[in-house]
Structure 1
């Protein structure tokens, strides 16, 4: 018998424009049971939605070194704003930069009733989440469907 996977709505499909990317800071439970920030980037490319943990494999920094800037100038690759690494949107593989050959950590994205949802992770509500990072990314509270 197949187990049902829980979906967590992140945004409406129209919140991610064509050839754009949007970052969200969610909250998940780590292996120690502690609620920790879970920054993700959702992108829409050639009619499909892709999700990745918002962390460059080079030094672990967020891709959007400048707030809300995730893509290269040609809108063809995700880009690390700190070191310029370029990542193929459909695969997350780094094609150029200091982490060439590595890849972004994927987050499984499912479209359900015009909502962009993620699955395969255990999320927590953000109530009481003390975030050490000081950024301008929107915070949202995730509720299971």
Structure 2
């Protein structure tokens, strides 16, 4: 059931995603951040594999309705290390799906949509969000099936 719900949320998010958007995906290990990011990328039209960016930090998905960088900051020691990734420059022609946004601390864009996944494994899952002004009217969607 979790995968169906994530797919539904991902379709809603993909429908309103724009170039320049930052979606901060927060939650403990195993909460579903990568699952949600993969589902958004698929909903945008990517037919290929969507590997986790844990080791190379960034996966680029060009050619979609909205090109996406899927970014995993888990291995960063400091927020300053993110500067080398070129995230600000990517926002000129991509949206960012950003796992482990907490690693950026105060450097996280204030206009980022913050989605928090709670629960892992067999536990009940919960999705909450923090919506900045840039997302008003786009999020939250109507999540009815």
| TM score, norm. by length of structure 2 | 0.30
| More helix, by proportion | 2
Structure whose CA Rg is larger: 1
Q: Give the TM-score, by structure 1 length.
A: 0.30
